[in-house]
């Protein structure tokens, strides 16, 4: 009889080990970006939809910065641990809206990172000013650490 036990053990380890070592990136929680803006993303529902609150640290307006609602959607799949997503922030203190799109990654140190690109559309008074109404940028968000009280 041929002994196949070592082969089966090695096969099982090869199939199971990647699942043990990979961490799933989860959008839910508190995040801060490279400019100091923060957001809280509430639970993602079974359809991939989520809500939250965004508090920007930067603005082009002289208005007082207020927290603004965000609504988004995450691509749901059982085979990917680093999902793509998108969300919209409807700024409560200005006549503008920003859409973000990105992906949730786990870096080499096991930390979650959101890599995003955004388009900000500001209100303009005339079609002739349309050329200056949209800005584009990127942000990197990292999960906020819990503060000891």
User: Do the domain assignments include residue 111?
Assistant: yes
User: Do the domain assignments include residue 44?
Assistant: yes
CA distances from 60 to 55, 57, 65, 110 (A): 14, 11, 10, 35
| Between residues 12 and 55, the one the model is more confident about | 55
User: Do the domain assignments include residue 72?
Assistant: yes
pLDDT in tens, 15-49: 444 444 457 888 999 999 999 999 999 999 999 99
> What letter would DSSP give residue 132?
G
User: Do the domain assignments include residue 131?
Assistant: yes
User: Do the domain assignments include residue 2?
Assistant: no
Q: What CATH number has the domain bearing residue 107?
A: 2.40.128.30
Q: Is the dihedral of CA 142, 25, 88, 30 positive or negative?
A: negative
Domain, as residue range, for 35 = 24-143
| Domain count within the chain | 1
Contacts of 116 (CB under 8 A, 6+ apart): 100, 101, 102, 138, 139, 140, 141
In this predicted structure, the answer to whether residue 62 has a pLDDT above a threshold of 60 is yes
| Chain centroid, CA 61 distance in Å | 25
């Amino acid at each position: 009889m041929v002994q196949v036990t070592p082969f089966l053990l090695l096969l099982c380890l090869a199939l199971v080990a990647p699942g043990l070592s990979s961490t799933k990136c989860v959008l839910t929680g508190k995040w801060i970006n490279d400019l100091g803006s923060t957001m809280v993303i509430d639970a993602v529902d079974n359809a991939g939809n989520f809500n939250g609150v965004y508090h920007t640290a930067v603005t082009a307006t002289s208005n007082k910065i207020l927290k603004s609602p965000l609504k988004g959607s995450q691509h749901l799949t059982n085979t990917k641990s680093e999902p793509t997503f998108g969300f919209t922030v409807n700024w409560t203190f200005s006549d503008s809206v920003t859409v973000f799109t990105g992906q949730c990654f786990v870096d080499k140190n096991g930390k979650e990172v959101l890599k995003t690109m955004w388009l900000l559309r500001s209100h303009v008074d005339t079609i002739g000013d349309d050329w200056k109404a949209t800005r584009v940028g990127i942000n990197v968000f990292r999960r906020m650490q819990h503060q000891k009280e």
